[in-house]
Amino acid sequence: MERGYCPKCAKELVIPDALEEFSCLYCGERLHISQLLKEPAPPANPEEDYFAFQRDALHAAVDYPQSMDHMSRPLFFDYFEKYFADCSAPFEALERCACAPGTDRGALARRAAQWLMEQVDAWFRHQKGWKLRPRRSDLRERTKFTVAIFLVPTACRAAPVIGRAFSEALRERWMERFPESPFELTTYEELTDGFKKNPLCFVTTAVCEFLGESDDCRMLTDFRAFRDGYLRSQPGGEAQIREYYDVAPGIVMRIDHCEDRAKIYPALYRRYLLPCHAALQAGDNARCHALYRRMMGALIKSYGG
């Protein structure tokens, strides 16, 4: 049996081990076992909690301009946990607001997202050089990356009741202001899975997916055979595969959040992947290897590693 307290009505619940999802016997709130509180929730004070959200939420969006520089596998997980420790408090406060009796959670999510987007927009306008296009674009893209890869997963993890609705509303508000600079919602679990994908073929897979090719297309199949055969047998081959494993997922995440990703992926395809594949088909494994290493070097230089 699992004992805990409902986050909405603060009543104690005893849940059989076989149940992961259930409804509170007292208030009817639909809950997951992970949402049970270990201690009774303190008396609701939505006004104070919303003030706590407003006090700290902007910090989570704009005070981490170096977040995209921590997207290699050795750096990402520790950096995310540090960010979560620093920035989860405002979303925990928003969660307490959402769990107060009588709260319209949809309205609260929209209100909070609107407020935060207004603060981000005002912060942009007060930054030196914001009106200069190159600086403006870089500042906005770095902020968007922090929001998409760190703030949204933190909100969903720290506030399971309202985090997703808040994140969806925040994305809508962002795209109203910056339609040319969209981003997709993700979770910490999805980010973690991203670092576990096929290392050598990660960039190739992303390019092929963008161009509408299937996961079993000829190019991907040939590159996987190249990795498992030729590359693993070369001196230092295993080390190179581990290197790709460390840096490729973060590179793809950064490209996916670039305004010009629609140009980047086709350019990679024409400049590197087509010649790599042609070399493979001609039986020139060494040339394919050299071209792929050249591509990874260029990507690391441009998008970190």
Mean pLDDT of the region 6-26: 87
- The three-state secondary structure class of 230 is helix
Average pLDDT score over residue span 66-84: 89
Segment 276-299 mean pLDDT: 91
pLDDT at 134: 43
Averaged pLDDT, 155-159: 94
Residue at token pair 């520089």: 69
Question: Do residues 279 and 252 lie in contact, with contact meaning Cβ atoms separated by under 8 Å?
Answer: no
Bigger pLDDT: 4 vs 250: 4
Give the pLDDT confidence score for residue 42 in this predicted structure. 65
pLDDT of 129 reads 58
Predicted TM-score (pTM) of this structure: 0.72
* pLDDT in the model for residue 302: 82
167-190 pLDDT, tens digit per residue, is: 999 999 999 999 888 888 988 888
Could you report the per-residue pLDDT of 245-278, keeping only the tens digit for each?
A: 788 888 888 888 777 788 888 998 899 999 999 9
Do 7 and 37 meet the contact criterion of CB atoms below 8 Å apart?
A: yes
Checking if the pLDDT of 9 tops 90, the result is no
Across 2-7, average pLDDT: 88
Element (H, E) at 246: helix 237-256
Name which residue leads in pLDDT, 21 or 305: 21
Tell me, what's the pLDDT at 53? 96
Residues 187-221 have pLDDT tens digits of 888 888 766 654 445 677 778 877 888 878 888 88
Q: Rounded to the nearest 10 degrees, what angle do helices 133-146 and 105-125 cross at?
A: 150
* Averaged pLDDT score across all residues of the chain: 86
- Spatial contact of 125 and 43, defined as CB atoms under 8 Å apart: no
Q: What is the pLDDT of residue 175?
A: 94
**DSSP secondary structure string for all residues of 206-217:** HHHHHTT--TT-
